[in-house]
Structure 1
């Protein structure tokens, strides 16, 4: 029996615009922004921030060094990251609330404090609710000091919540992430980036009932 649903953030809850994020960081002076900002994962200082290896202050300092600037502010760095946010579909948020009536619903995202400062604020949704309003718990890569698709990040969530892997469905647009979740015993649902997932999830829940 499925009791727990675990969702990715970007490409699943939020529709993404990677090109806009790259454009913004490029305008800040990061010439190799496209190389450092992968579709399903970051590299360099972007990865270090999302894995919790460095804090925001250090990220801004290293970003300024790469851009050959005296400094890059918190607001500038956050503006760059928020370029990823194309749309937060209200229907998806409502679907999450419906699912919470029957299941435990968690977020597991490769993300960073600059992004989450906006995501977990009233500015996130048209209804004035932060993302935490729609989930039972949020698990972020920088807080776990880990990064999908490592097996350990999934095990940390299972252990923290006392969950049985076979009672979980993990939903992500990154195939490697879904395969990692399945390797630790979860059921995986791979969805196309930015696609609606409710029908596919409903079908899987019915199949596993």
Structure 2
């Protein structure tokens, strides 16, 4: 029986345009290939292993003709709107106190600052207080799909894996969680919506 629900953030609550950053940089500075080094920098940044200054400075070395403000704008272009109906959904779910609710997101300092600004601090705080714990990868130095991040959440909160449902839009993330015995839902953005969670075939 599910007693705990662990939610991803992007494309679960806030809408994303994942190709936006590469698209904008390509339009402005010419087509480029995302290298293994770039992926490593991105992952290190999501783990909080490098600072925002170091992150932007690295991409400024890749795109020397770019203003840092242009790089920041392109980086944040992935982030779209946070529909009010989803915020009300999670507030309603939290108010019932039926499940322990957690947020577990791969994210970074620049994106979180932008989210707070775009959705307003008031709405962001309304969202954050719905969760018992609000885990952001860059604050805990762990990221999905590494199994260590799920083990961390389980041990920190004395959770049993088979009593947890983890919801994410990325198959590799739900796969690694499921290998620990956590029940998972790989939500398909644009086809499914978190507000319909209780229409899914889970043992609530």
By the TM > 0.5 criterion, same fold? yes
Once the two structures are overlaid, the 10-residue window that deviates more, 101-110 or 167-176, is 101-110
Alpha carbons 1:30, 1:63 under 8 Å: kept: no
User: Is 1:132 matched with 2:145?
Assistant: no
Post-superposition Cα deviations, 1:99-148, rounded to whole Å, max 9, x if no partner, equal 212222211111111001122x26326x9411424433221222222221
Match of 1:141 in 2: 137
Distance 1:123 1:182, change over 3 A: same
Matches within 5 A, 1:5-16: 5-16=5-16
Alpha carbons 1:29, 1:66 under 8 Å: kept: no
Q: How many residues align?
A: 198
Alpha carbons 2:56, 2:72 under 8 Å: kept: no
**Paired residue for 1:160, among 133, 156, 162?**
156
Match of 1:53 in 2: 49
In the aligned structure 1, how far is the partner of 2:112 from the partner of 2:17?
17
Matches within 5 A, 1:25-64: 25-26=25-26, 29=29, 31-32=31-32, 35=34, 43-64=39-60
Matches within 5 A, 1:38-187: 43-69=39-65, 72-73=67-68, 75-100=69-94, 101=96, 102-119=98-115, 121=116, 123-124=118-119, 128-130=122-124, 131-187=127-183
Q: Which runs of 5+ in 2 are unaligned?
A: none
Please give the secondary structure, in 2, of the residue aligned with 1:108.
strand
Distance 1:128 1:158, change over 3 A: same
The Cα of 1:30 is off from its aligned counterpart by 8.0
Give the TM-score normalised by structure 1: 0.81
The Cα of 1:162 is off from its aligned counterpart by 2.2
Distance 1:155 1:19, change over 3 A: same
Cα RMSD (Å): 2.6
Post-superposition Cα deviations, 1:141-161, rounded to whole Å, max 9, x if no partner, equal 222222211111111111222
In the aligned structure 2, how far is the partner of 1:191 from the partner of 1:56?
30
Alpha carbons 1:36, 1:46 under 8 Å: kept: no
In the aligned structure 1, how far is the partner of 2:58 from the partner of 2:202?
49
The Cα of 1:22 is off from its aligned counterpart by 2.2
